[in-house]
């Protein structure tokens, strides 16, 4: 069972979850599943409007305990994309918070339970009603945007979710005494699976701050904090908020690369070297630095328990683990997804004949097994003048210049070089540096062939809800 600590808990923790100015006890979460089983009337798949509210927590918990697969739908998703998610997933009802447009589906509000005595019946599975017949059954379907076409539904089993959360608990020494704090969306792996489901599985208290602001993080009084690089950049810009996190046990950063200057500022202001980890919706988290291991800025650690990785070149040959040679990253292990819903061809393309999942990312591995993610093969591996250059290495170098606040590097088409390196730079509040100075700075820090051929100063970088830079948008702008 995915949530054993919740179901088997003898004590009814009154503030197991704190969200949207609401406290939910462990007993209420358990009782919610009884209501879900009764109210869904045999629905085999339901959509949940994944807003940061108590209703969302009750809906998700109730479905998992009752054995009903969940489709989390972003609250701010556009009409066309939401219609695609509902149609493609085959969701039969909305559970929890009511969306503005029901899209023809019935809406079922969540009933709050009153105590731990209202335990759900065991999921029936094979009896024809809702329920997980096997731990390998799909428990969660998260839609993720690919490089082409509409979002694909990633099917995650209870077994994969449990394996990943248990491996992370081991690597981070995450335990029931922790108070986990974050303000991230509840429709992605980071906020939903790691934050909420991880807390329910481990048995620790969970606090959602609504928005991941420095003030909210400082006031939460947690021992374990999750954030994306944008969150941590804002935290270190607020000295008093950062210093308030000194009482924490662990700070975790993910969903995008944490700039080295932000890593260093976190160490200086909070006293904590942050944990960095890597994964995807399809693989869940597969790499992480450890509480008891090295935490090297810019590196995402080693494989979690049960996970294997390998690097291959364009011909499928092995890439040396020398900390410098870039290769395509593939992973294998118990955390992998069940495939894309209704997309057998896409699922087949994602795996090789030996069951390795092709992540689409490029990376380097050193002799000790530490991994550094260079980025997406499609936008972060730049082939220029016969060289293979990782955009992330150039971004890290530029962020070391005092005139650079944010940067994104892409490769634009070039008749002579194949691709030319272009850096989009947000200047520092202390003052921008001239583009030529930044170009020369990279040439001195790295190699001449890795210098940007062009630096474009911009007011802001396009980002998604998780803080990731939308490089495809920059490629479109840069190619005009």
Residue 296 has pLDDT above 90, yes or no: yes
Question: What is the percent of the chain where pLDDT is above 70?
Answer: 92
Q: Give the largest Cα separation in the chain, rounded.
A: 72
**Confidence tier at 42 by pLDDT (50, 70, 90):** confident
How much is the pLDDT for 222? 97
The pLDDT value given to residue 103 = 87
Residue 118 has pLDDT above 50, yes or no: no
Q: pLDDT tens for residues 178-196?
A: 999 999 999 999 999 999 9
pLDDT over threshold 60, residue 233: yes
Backbone phi, psi, residue 456, to 5°:
-115, 125
The tens digit of pLDDT for each residue in 362-409 reads 999 999 999 999 888 877 888 888 777 888 889 888 988 999 999 999
DSSP assignment of 364-379 equals: EE-TT--EEEEEEHHH
pLDDT of residue 117: 41
Please state, in angstroms and as integers, the Cα–Cα distance from residue 52 to each residue in 19, 113, 185, 208, 476, following that order. Answer: 7, 19, 7, 8, 33
Q: What's the whole-number average pLDDT of the chain?
A: 89
pLDDT at 480: 67
Q: What is the pLDDT of residues 450-473, one digit of tens each?
A: 999 999 999 999 987 666 788 888
Please state the length of the chain. 480
Looking at residue 130, its pLDDT comes to 44
Query: What's the pTM?
Result: 0.84
- With a pLDDT cut of 90, the percent of the chain lying above it is 63
Q: What is the DSSP letter of 177?
A: T
Q: Is the pLDDT of residue 19 over 50?
A: yes
Output the CA–CA distances (angstroms, integers) from residue 121 to 65, 85, 111, 155, in the order listed: 9, 30, 17, 25
- The answer to whether residue 218 scores a pLDDT higher than 90 is yes
CATH classification code of 385-478: 3.30.300.30
307 has pLDDT over 70? yes
Side-chain half-sphere of 223: how many Cα atoms within 13 Å? 13
Which of 57-66, 120-129, 245-254 holds the top average pLDDT?
A: 245-254
In the chain, domain spans: 385-478
């Amino acid at each position: 069972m995915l949530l054993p600590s919740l179901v088997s808990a003898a004590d009814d923790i009154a503030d197991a979850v704190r969200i949207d100015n609401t406290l939910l006890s462990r007993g209420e979460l358990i009782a919610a599943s009884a209501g879900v089983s009764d109210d869904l009337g045999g629905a085999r798949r339901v959509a949940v409007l994944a807003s940061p509210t108590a209703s969302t927590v009750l809906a998700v918990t109730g479905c998992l305990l009752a054995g009903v697969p969940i489709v989390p739908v972003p609250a701010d998703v556009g009409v066309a994309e939401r219609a695609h998610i509902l149609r493609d997933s085959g969701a039969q009802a909305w559970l929890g918070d009511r969306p503005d447009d029901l899209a023809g589906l019935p809406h079922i509000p969540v009933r709050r339970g009153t105590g731990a005595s209202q335990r759900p019946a065991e999921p029936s599975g094979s009896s024809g009603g809702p329920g997980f017949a096997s731990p390998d059954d799909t428990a969660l379907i998260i839609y993720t945007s690919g490089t082409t076409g509409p979002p694909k539904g990633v099917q995650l089993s209870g077994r994969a979710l449990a394996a990943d959360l248990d491996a992370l608990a081991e690597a981070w020494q995450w335990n029931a005494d922790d108070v986990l704090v974050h303000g991230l969306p509840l429709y992605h792996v980071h906020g939903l699976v790691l934050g909420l489901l991880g807390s329910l599985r481990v048995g620790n208290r969970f606090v959602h701050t609504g928005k991941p602001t420095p003030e909210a993080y400082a006031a939460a009084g947690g021992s374990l904090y999750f954030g994306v690089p944008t969150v941590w950049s804002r935290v270190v810009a607020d000295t008093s908020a950062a210093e308030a996190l000194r009482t924490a046990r662990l700070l975790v950063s993910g969903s995008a690369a944490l700039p080295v200057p932000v890593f260093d500022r976190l160490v200086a202001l909070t006293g904590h070297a942050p944990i960095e980890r890597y994964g995807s919706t399809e693989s869940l988290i597969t790499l992480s630095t450890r509480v008891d291991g090295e935490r090297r800025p810019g590196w995402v650690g080693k494989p979690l328990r049960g996970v294997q990785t390998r690097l291959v070149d364009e011909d499928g040959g092995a890439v040396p683990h020398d900390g410098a040679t870039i290769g395509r990253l593939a992973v294998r292990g118990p955390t992998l997804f069940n495939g894309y819903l209704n997309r057998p061809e896409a699922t087949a393309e994602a795996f090789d004949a030996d069951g390795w999942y092709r992540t689409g990312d490029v990376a380097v591995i050193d002799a000790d097994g530490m991994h550094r993610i260079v980025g997406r093969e499609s936008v972060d591996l730049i082939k220029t003048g016969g060289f293979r250059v990782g955009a992330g290495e150039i971004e890290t170098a530029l962020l070391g210049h005092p005139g650079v606040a944010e940067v994104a590097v892409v490769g634009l088409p070039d008749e002579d070089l194949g691709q030319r390196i272009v850096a989009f730079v947000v200047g520092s509040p202390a003052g921008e540096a001239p583009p030529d100075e930044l170009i020369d700075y990279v040439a001195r820090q790295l190699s001449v062939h890795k210098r940007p051929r062009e630096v474009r100063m911009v007011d802001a970088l396009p980002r998604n809800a998780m803080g990731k830079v939308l490089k495809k948008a920059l490629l479109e702008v840069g190619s005009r």
